[in-house]
Structure 1
Amino acid sequence: MPQRSSTFNPHDPVTLQRMQSARSIHSEIMGCQLRKKKVLELLPPFGAGKDYPPQPPDIETYIVEFDGADDPMHPQNWTVRKKLRVMTVLGFATFVVAWGSSIFSPAIFVISEVFHISTVTAILAISLYVLGFASGPLVWGPLSELYGRRPPTLISTFTSAVFHMGVARSDDLASIMICRFFAGFFGASCLAVVPASFADIFGNKTRGMAIAIFATCVFIGPLIAPVVGGFIVTSYLGWRWTAYLTSIMGFSSFALVVYFMDETYPPQVLVEKAQFLRRETDNWCILARQEQSKFELSDLLEHNISRPLKMLFTEPILFLITLYTAFIYGILYLLLEAYPIIFYEGYGMAFQISELPYLGVVVGQIFGGAMVVAFEPMTYKRIVANGGRPIPEIRLIPTMIGSMLFTIGMFWLTWSGAYHRHVHWIVPTISGIFTGMGLISIFLSALNYIVESYLMFAASAVAANTFLRSGFGAGFPLFAGAMFKNLGVQWAGTLIGCIALILVPVPVLFYLYGKRLRTMSNYAPT
């Protein structure tokens, strides 16, 4: 069979780095080998009186690799068109998952009346969905490092859409709550796998912009959804159509993944290459490094499924930056309860109209995303000057700016929104621009920092981050209403603003001492 000429250069730094990464991933992710003695005892006779054939003389000879830094099979060498296609599909899938978390919030008051429950109990429908975000990535992240990014994405988009349909068709409260949780659990795959996929296909020059698109989908979805949901709930369609619409969007994203998403995880791409070569050459000794490993369920749980939690509580970098982003993410979902109190109860707006001020935060997030992207040329120059190796701490400069903007936005929103008789509604609405810029720049820069700190273990690192921040996102809405009503809008906002002010130095400390912390890491390449 004809073959194209090789472009492999054994001295190319990119090639050497990729080969070394593949070996380290294999030893860490797939290192849970069965005992050979035990395996040999279980082997059946070869059959027909035949002896077992001899092993290949050197197994390394038969292991497929990428053919140099410019191998077109490597995801980072795909055409721009192919990268944009995959990025669009994954971005939409992530948007749908984030959308589903909050489109149900306008239905809370209707649910509490229909099922004769308190508003706090009805808010559990939001909290349980976000709680699914916390638990799901612990499974989906490590599985994507075993079997590739595509299978978890396929399973999650389809199953999440099924459970959204279950919400729409449920006639009792328990079914709604259970379906909401599992819709979040399965949908959470996108929150852990998509940023890792972007890290797979985008290099140092464009990775920051790709992660910006992911973060925008994560944050804009929960803020646009209540606006749409408010008009759906008050229309003839009713609250069930908030779930029907999300289910339709979910099935659409599943179809897009089926037809337009290719595998992005380099070790799994090599598995597909080995499978192709075995079929075409009839040489069944050819294999990928990822195919070498044999593991039991107990090994899988110990070495892979538990990795995100292990990383979260043993990696100082990951734990501290995750704690910071968890607070910010919790505020995002707290705003879903704070805005109706300010604009619906305070300013007396019609219910569906009271959701429109969220658009101020959306505008701020667009500005914040643009600000982060504007730092990309400077970041890339620093990376080139560093020999092409990422400098994660450079990503934190927008976080320093965002932490101050977020603090200003929270004080502005609550102190202007508390005096609705004297302050026009546009004033607290404009504060959303500062809040939105702060939210997105903090989250986006921190996510870039995590991905570039851990690279090939990015899925597990992001899963750990998603676990903790989703726990905050699930808990904050439960006490938001009581806090704003008991303390008053201005003093509740002051409490949040003061905590945010205390956290302003956090990115500065990471910028100064992050490199030293990374040298102590077992997972972060230095």
Structure 2
Amino acid sequence: MPAAGSSSGTEVSSSTNNIKNNPSISSTPGQKSNISTSNTTENETEDIRTSDNYDDISVATSHLPNQYDVEKGLSTDQGSHSLSLLKTESRVAPNANMSKVLTNTDAISHRIQEQNEAGVPIPPMGADRDYPAMLPPNEDYLVAFDGENDPIHPHNWPVKTKVTICALLGYDTLCIAFGSSIFSACVPAVSEIFGVATVVATLGISLYVFGFATGPLVWAPLSELYGRKPVILISSFMFTVFNFGVATSDRLESVLICRFFAGCLGAAPMVCVPAAMSDMYGNKTRGTVIVLFSMAVIVGPMIAPFVGAFIVVNKNLGWRWCSFMVGIISSPQLILIPFFFKETHHPIILVEKAEEIKRRTGNWGIHAPHDEFKLTFKEVVENNLNRPLKMLVTEPILLVVSIYNAFVYGMMYLFLTAYPLVFQYGYKMKPGVAELPFLGLAIGMMIGGLLCIYAERDFNKKLVENNGVLVPENRLPIMILGAIAFPVGILWFCWTGNYPEHVHWAAPCVSGIMTGFGVMVIFIPSMNYIIDSYLLFAASAIAGMTFLRSGFGGAFPLFAQFMFVNMHVNWAGLLLGVFGLVLVLFPLMFIKFGKRLRQKSHYAFDLSGK
């Protein structure tokens, strides 16, 4: 368990604060991570090839075999001390070819003699030249940020620059989320045109959301290697292309395949946007910007159905124009991102700085720590597939929070079926008008988001009172409000919507405000709680949560119609509402026992030292 003992608790908290205030801290080649964990095994340490960037803590734990250390003349204890969190500007295993620390001609002569005696003579330099002396220590050539006020560090960028980038990222995320549910309005038309059952046409929604589960597992490591900008740009391009593919396909198979790849290849914002926001903002403001990201993810699917419905019923447009519209509104990103989006990933910024210094000074040896690292396909698979799934099934905190989060997310997509059943078939509203009640959900979500932003003030106050030491459980009290509002909203909707001949349509419509409020006030604190609990493992934890959440989101629409038709809306709602009420116990449980569970975890952190 990466928890501080009583003797090092103060050091941990101070180290964490130093990370926030000193973005220039970096590790050197061959240097092991300065994180000492009492319960983390050696094999788990070897798995940590890619660090996770959240809350200004970007730590890479690089395990080098002892034989390698001996061969390169490196001490296995080099630079180590008791538990601390050091910020690095790189994320993967050091390249052995750049780790020599020898400095004189005697050293190279000794190395040549060793190689000759071993029967593996070194090839001659050629042109009658002797072997040159070794370079000075590698650390002399490493670039770093110039103190905590370095203007090139994203934390110190002008507010205008940060707002512009956040607006671009928020718009990109909104387009992706919007595209997930707009197809719900196309399901009846697709079912009729291609002559398939409704549940088959619903695969257009499910496969898109399943893409959300798989795509981030690939995009996340690529963004760590090559930066946020190229990954988001390529993802936006692929998203646009495959949406136009959906719009022009003449076979159902092509429609479904293009929908899957639109979700999978377009899903980079789901992981890159919160990472980019974390690159630019610190502890006190990260929670607020994550709220804005979450609102784009959650509100987007709720405003798309009625827009799509009006497009489908328009005789001059039709169902294909839903995908045309998504492709059109996402196209401006292909122009805006190259010109207005600055790279936010700290290691890549240092690479660009090193390239400029190298070019202007002519000193080819100057480089960034990130230049020394490489990532193999095997490491991509191990770190970004194995670890998130392993954490998901072995970490009680992550598993329970992910199940809760996934149920809420799945219910959002369940409503894509439930709302048309109630308002179109129950209250006899026309298509388009029957989808307008989704605005109630969207309004409730925005109210919940604003409350979460306000709650950040209380969290920051407790953070200051605790000398800057994070206590993840301080995120949870507000979550209790959402946990109660969510099932109440479900019961309200289902039991009023089941009797259209006796209950005015406004009653189930207004219930969406409470349901949407509950969704947002559960979603945001749970995400922040996981980030604060797992720190350097946060990206892996979020990847596991996203995988399960998207699986629920894709599966729920497939059985929604059978459930509401066969059980009737009221009894189906009772089942879901009671299950939601049981889940209220989870935030209460973590408020009381969360610290104890983190102390027993192999991945979660307890920085209090108590």
- What TM-score does the superposition give when structure 1 sets the normalisation length? 0.92
Q: For residues 318-397 of structure 1, what are the structure 2 equivalents within 5 Å?
A: 318-397=398-477
Match of 2:67 in 1: none
Q: For residues 486-497 of structure 1, what are the structure 2 equivalents within 5 Å?
A: 486-497=566-577
Percent identity over the alignment? 47
Q: Please tell me the residue identity of whatever aligns with 2:245.
A: G
Match of 2:103 in 1: none
Instruction: Indicate if the aligned counterparts of 1:138 and 1:309 stay in contact, CA closer than 8 A.
Output: no
CA, structure 1 residues 164+385, in 2 after alignment: closer, same or farther (shift >3 Å)? same
Instruction: Indicate if the aligned counterparts of 1:32 and 1:295 stay in contact, CA closer than 8 A.
Output: yes
CA, structure 1 residues 158+50, in 2 after alignment: closer, same or farther (shift >3 Å)? farther
Q: Output one character per residue of 1:109-152: Cα deviation in whole Å (capped at 9) or x when no partner.
A: 00000000000000000000000001001111222222222222
Matches of 2:551 and 2:224, distance apart in 1:
23
Deviation at 1:460, TM superposition (A): 3.3
Give me the CA root mean square deviation: 2.6
CA, structure 1 residues 30+44, in 2 after alignment: closer, same or farther (shift >3 Å)? farther
Instruction: Indicate if the aligned counterparts of 1:192 and 1:466 stay in contact, CA closer than 8 A.
Output: no
Which residue among 61, 65, 74 is the counterpart of 1:27?
61
Match of 2:581 in 1: 501
Match of 1:184 in 2: 263
Specify the SS of the correspondent of 2:284. coil
Match of 1:6 in 2: none
Matches of 2:281 and 2:465, distance apart in 1:
19
Match of 2:397 in 1: 317
Match of 1:89 in 2: 168
CA, structure 1 residues 50+141, in 2 after alignment: closer, same or farther (shift >3 Å)? farther
Instruction: Indicate if the aligned counterparts of 1:132 and 1:188 stay in contact, CA closer than 8 A.
Output: yes
1:522 aligns with 2:603: yes
Q: Please tell me the residue identity of whatever aligns with 1:438.
A: G
Which residue among 274, 285, 290 is the counterpart of 2:370?
290
Specify the SS of the correspondent of 2:489. helix
Q: Output one character per residue of 1:429-451: Cα deviation in whole Å (capped at 9) or x when no partner.
A: 00001000000111111122223
Q: Tell me whether 71-80 or 424-433 shows the greater mean CA deviation.
A: 71-80
Match of 2:380 in 1: 300
Q: Please tell me the residue identity of whatever aligns with 1:495.
A: L
Match of 1:224 in 2: 303
Matches of 2:532 and 2:403, distance apart in 1:
18
Instruction: Indicate if the aligned counterparts of 1:412 and 1:428 stay in contact, CA closer than 8 A.
Output: yes
1:165 aligns with 2:244: yes
Deviation at 1:359, TM superposition (A): 0.4
Match of 2:69 in 1: none
Specify the SS of the correspondent of 1:27. coil
Match of 2:520 in 1: 440
Higher helix residue share: 1
Specify the SS of the correspondent of 2:202. helix
1:200 aligns with 2:279: yes
Match of 1:421 in 2: 501
Q: Please tell me the residue identity of whatever aligns with 1:509.
A: M
Deviation at 1:521, TM superposition (A): 3.8
Aligned residue-pair number: 516
CA, structure 1 residues 446+54, in 2 after alignment: closer, same or farther (shift >3 Å)? farther
Instruction: Indicate if the aligned counterparts of 1:196 and 1:458 stay in contact, CA closer than 8 A.
Output: no
Instruction: Indicate if the aligned counterparts of 1:192 and 1:460 stay in contact, CA closer than 8 A.
Output: no
Q: For residues 64-143 of structure 1, what are the structure 2 equivalents within 5 Å?
A: 64-143=143-222
Instruction: Indicate if the aligned counterparts of 1:104 and 1:242 stay in contact, CA closer than 8 A.
Output: yes
Q: Output one character per residue of 1:54-100: Cα deviation in whole Å (capped at 9) or x when no partner.
A: 44332222222222222222212211111111110000000000000
Match of 2:232 in 1: 153
Match of 2:10 in 1: none
Deviation at 1:351, TM superposition (A): 1.2
Q: Please tell me the residue identity of whatever aligns with 2:205.
A: I
Q: Output one character per residue of 1:383-404: Cα deviation in whole Å (capped at 9) or x when no partner.
A: 1222334332222222111010
Match of 2:321 in 1: 241
Matches of 1:170 and 1:44, distance apart in 2:
60
Deviation at 1:525, TM superposition (A): 7.2
Instruction: Indicate if the aligned counterparts of 1:112 and 1:119 stay in contact, CA closer than 8 A.
Output: yes
Match of 2:359 in 1: 279
Match of 2:556 in 1: 476
Instruction: Indicate if the aligned counterparts of 1:312 and 1:461 stay in contact, CA closer than 8 A.
Output: yes
Matches of 1:45 and 1:381, distance apart in 2:
66
Instruction: Indicate if the aligned counterparts of 2:209 and 2:551 stay in contact, CA closer than 8 A.
Output: yes
Match of 1:5 in 2: none
Q: Please tell me the residue identity of whatever aligns with 1:216.
A: M
Deviation at 1:257, TM superposition (A): 1.8
Specify the SS of the correspondent of 1:117. coil
Where does structure 2 lack aligned partners over 5 or more consecutive residues? 1-14, 34-58, 63-89, 101-114
Deviation at 1:15, TM superposition (A): 6.2
CA, structure 1 residues 512+230, in 2 after alignment: closer, same or farther (shift >3 Å)? same
Matches of 1:367 and 1:233, distance apart in 2:
30
Deviation at 1:269, TM superposition (A): 1.9
Deviation at 1:238, TM superposition (A): 0.5
Q: Output one character per residue of 1:340-377: Cα deviation in whole Å (capped at 9) or x when no partner.
A: 11111111110111000000001101110111111111
Matches of 1:48 and 1:126, distance apart in 2:
67
Q: Please tell me the residue identity of whatever aligns with 1:170.
A: S
CA, structure 1 residues 389+144, in 2 after alignment: closer, same or farther (shift >3 Å)? farther
